[in-house]
Amino acid sequence: MRTVRLKLVLTEGQKGSLLRTMKEYIQAFQHAARWGYRNRCCDKRKMQYAIYYETRAEVPLFGAGLVQSSKDVACEALKRCKCRAVPNRRTYATVRYP
């Protein structure tokens, strides 16, 4: 896996679209993080089976890849804090695109 950092030159419409995507990504992340904390689960596969369709309903404009990506990031955050707290992300944090 490689990380690529890019400076984007966007129009106002594209900026708005990207900001909406970031907010919805955080919403999907928080849904997964809260579920994982309540159920003391940070296993990606178990969480996938438990909340995938709920997350798709909560964030209907997201494709499957972004839903899974936000769930994976939430699982990794839960592992880092050993499920002792609900992890939070900044409002305009990075989005992991599949």
pLDDT of amino acid 97:
78
> Quick check: is 80 in a domain?
yes
- List b or e across 37-68, with b for residues whose CB sees 16 or more CB atoms inside 10 angstroms: beeebbebeebbebbeeebeeebeebeeebbb
Q: 57 in a domain, yes or no?
A: yes
Q: Residues 67, 52: contact at Cβ < 8 Å?
A: yes
* Domain around 69: 41-84
Enter the pTM of the model: 0.86
Tokens, residue 34: 């809260």
What pLDDT, on a 0 to 100 scale, did the predictor assign at position 86? Answer: 86
Note whether residue 1 is domain-resident: no
pLDDT in single tens digits along all 98 residues of the chain: 777 888 889 999 999 998 998 899 999 999 999 999 999 998 999 999 999 999 999 988 888 999 999 999 999 999 988 888 888 888 777 888 77
Does the residue 69 lie in any domain?
A: yes
| 89 lies in some domain | no
Positive/negative CA dihedral, 17, 31, 67, 85 = positive
